[in-house]
Amino acid sequence: MYLLHKLGLRTDPVIFSVSVALTVLFVGASILFTAPVDVLFGTVSAWIITNLGWFYILGVTTFLIFLVWIGFSRYGRIRLGGEEDRPDYSRLTWFAMLFAAGIGTILMFWGVAEPISHFANPPQNNVEPQSVPAANQAMGYTLYHFGLHTWTIFCLPALCFAYFVYRRGLPLRVSSIFYPFLGDRVRGPIGKAIDTLAVIGTLFGVAVSLGLGTLQINSGLAALFGLEFSKPVQVLLISVITVVATISVALGLDRGIKRLSDINISLAVGLLLFVLFTGSTLYLIRGSIEMVGVYLSWLVPLSFWNDTFGNTGWQGTWTVFYWAWTITWSPFVGIFIARISKGRTVREFILGVLGLPTAFTIVWFSVFGLSAIGIELDGPGGLVQAVVVQDDIPGALFVFLDNFPLATVTSALAVLIVAIFFTTSSDSASLVIDLLSAPEQVKQTPVRQRVFWAVTEGVVAATLIAATGQSGLDALSEVVTVIGLPFFVMGFLMMAALLRSLREESLPPATHHQPTLRVRLPHQRMPRLPRRVRRFGPDSAAQPAPRSEEP
């Protein structure tokens, strides 16, 4: 604690120290004992996928049903803040910020690669590969992975954060959500353990994404300039992204992250429109409308599908991993969304966080996915060969753009978009980790503290790439799958805590048999009333209580 003070850091010493120690321990073990660590987490991850994959599938679907019900119930009118509070950001800026901090990076990485992968290797064996039915199945599964279910994983904790912080005055921490069950113990060992787990999950989730983004950027630069696809280049790229993220997080939310988010969503939309209007425009417009129906027709079956009869293991390597990986991001994305959503109603919040990104996701994959499939069905092809046969998933987007005019310009633009998406994810995560590890009474943390976490994220990703290469990222992905399990358990507790608090808020004024949720702020002692007041009520201090005439 003395050392942290000398360094000028204002942190919770337990959360900060334990999180840093566990991170250093994992990175060190990955470098020194790569094979045993891979075996350990690979074994546990395989066991979870085999025996608890159904729990992941059921969990996300349950979260989605719960959120839709809350949004259209009487609780939807509750405002996240005081009744006079209004949103700080316009809907367009709000959407750009939550999208850039959410899955913008994933859409760039998988926009072409996943539809082509499922088109060449259909998840269900009764479909002929590279056929029209395979195309429909590929788009249905892809939209399921990146539509309502992914944003449900972000929306549930985000709504809980926003409610307990802006309605109940609790600190912006994961442990605050569990106040209805733990009371003041959220400030004790249990609460600190929850917040530490959130910090570790966020660090590892961001490290995986930085690794994937680095591979994609390196692949794009190799296609553009012949740059070597190697570990030194990837470490250099992570260093550059970390420097930009550090500058952004030092500037703060409004000057850094907000500006980058606005710029990047504009560039991404520009690339989308370029593909739409330079490709088969009529085909893509018709297909985009059709994909809405494809998504809706696949939504319910896939929401409960567990590959019971086929038992191919496909779901474990795709859907279960996606859900586990996404939920490790949920504390940081949830807190970030809550931070920018004060003043919105519960209904507006749920519809916005679920609806707007899902609609954009359908359009994005309809344009990129259908264009890629069209190139295989009616064009020169080559994408299946690159993505599936040669396993060049990071380079899928750039192989795809070679089929359009101005391929060099658009590939350079794609590299820039990916870099900014990963920068906004990194600096958003740094901001949130800083909030999680700071004392709850501290309103503003030193800039060097946020910079520390931005650098730490880059160091974790760079160390894994430099020490163990792709196997290190695979090992980290398996760790993410393991870490995701307790977060799913916490998700069910979040639903119960939120519902309990919403019901209490909607009750009439409290009576002796209707207790309300009372939040006690740190270092705040409840005043002790005189004995007569405690026994007979507030008016009894002025005059004796009247004697009742009833028996």
CA angle, 505 then 510 then 515, to 5°: 80
Quickly state the pLDDT bin for 507 (edges 50, 70, 90).
low
- With H, G, I as helix, E, B as strand and everything else as coil, classify residue 266: helix
When the pLDDT of each residue in the chain is averaged and rounded to a whole number, the result is: 82
Stronger pLDDT, 8 or 351, i.e. the higher one: 351
What is the domain partition of the chain in residue ranges?
A: 14-506
82 to 60, 343, 499, 508: CA distances (angstroms): 30, 7, 19, 18
Return phi, psi of residue 345, to 5°: -75, 160
pTM recorded for the entire structure: 0.83
User: Any bridge partners for residue 79, and if so which?
Assistant: 345
CA distances from 205 to 198, 255, 408, 427 (A): 10, 25, 31, 13
**546: pLDDT confidence band, cut at 50, 70 and 90?**
very low
379 falls in which pLDDT band (50, 70, 90)? confident
The CATH fold of domain 14-506: Amino acid/polyamine transporter I (1.20.1740)
pLDDT in tens, 105-119: 778 888 999 999 999
Q: Place 101 in a pLDDT band, splitting at 50, 70 and 90.
A: low
Band (523; pLDDT cuts 50, 70, 90): very low
Three-state SS for 54? Answer: helix
Query: At a CB cut-off of 8 Å and minimum separation 6, what does 84 contact?
Result: none
pLDDT digits (tens, 9 = 90+) for 216-258: 888 888 888 888 888 888 888 888 888 877 777 777 655 556 6
Residue with tokens 């350990």: 40
Whether the pLDDT of residue 526 is over 60: the answer is: no
Does 349 have pLDDT greater than 50?
yes
Weakest-pLDDT range from 44-58, 290-304, 489-503: 44-58
Per-residue pLDDT tens for 124-163? 878 899 999 999 999 999 999 999 999 999 999 999 999 9
